[in-house]
Structure 1
Amino acid sequence: MKAIIIIEYCPKCGWLLRSAYIAQELLTTFTDELEGILLKPSDEGGHFSIRLNGRIIFDRKTQGGFPEIKELKQLVRDLISPEKNLGHSDKTKEK
């Protein structure tokens, strides 16, 4: 079963473009693993969260700021396709 991501954002804060960028990056990286991404305007001011199959994997208010795209890709990969190589976006391996 392919994963579904929901990005809930505050439209009053102007976070639609940020949400669309994140969606684009995830859809490009996880073409075969994702069913789709829903961009959902929030009724709550200042809200920004990312859910994967209903589970919150990022929340701006509890984690602070916004996710770095590299770290978000690693998190999503670890949850839906641990064997996937992210190329230059992958974690640096300790020697």
Structure 2
Amino acid sequence: MEPASFTTKKPVITIEYCPKCRWLLRAAYMAQELLTTFEDDLHGVLLHPSEIAGRYTVFIDENILFDRKREGRFPEIKELKQLVRDQINPEKDLGHSEKK
């Protein structure tokens, strides 16, 4: 099996989380869900421990998709999948995670 071509520009999701707050498990769960749902649409998901306490921010490439401090809460996985889908593949059906 050959590695994926780096010439095709698929987005990278970065989840920046506070390791002191013990948010790695939450970030890893969300990364797993995004990789499973968007396996053909993403280049990958990066987990990035933040040096800033209390940070939990999700980026698509360099653009902020969700910021815990700005929103005053963590994203629900259903909501996060919808936000990612709307940015990278608006036609994708999310099945049970679809907006009601």
Structure 1's consecutive aligned runs of 4 or more residues displaced over 2 angstroms after TM superposition are none
What is the percent sequence identity of the aligned residues? Answer: 64
- Taking only aligned residues, the RMSD between alpha carbons, in angstroms, comes to 0.6
Q: Which residue of 2 aligns with 1:61?
A: 69
* Residue type of the alignment partner of 2:63: R
1:71 aligns with 2:79: yes
SS at match of 1:13: coil
Instruction: Calculate the TM-score normalised by the size of structure 1.
Output: 0.95
Q: Does 1:20 align with 2:31?
A: no
Q: Which has the higher helix share?
A: 1
Partner SS for 1:2? coil
Structure 1: runs of 5 or more not aligned? none
Shift of 1:64: 1.1
Tell me how many residue pairs correspond in the alignment.
Answer: 92
C-alpha separation in 2, matches of 1:43 and 1:71: 26
Structure 2: runs of 5 or more not aligned: 1-8
Q: Which has the higher strand share?
A: 1
Match of 1:84 in 2: 92
Query: What is the TM-score when the length of structure 2 is the normalising length?
Result: 0.90
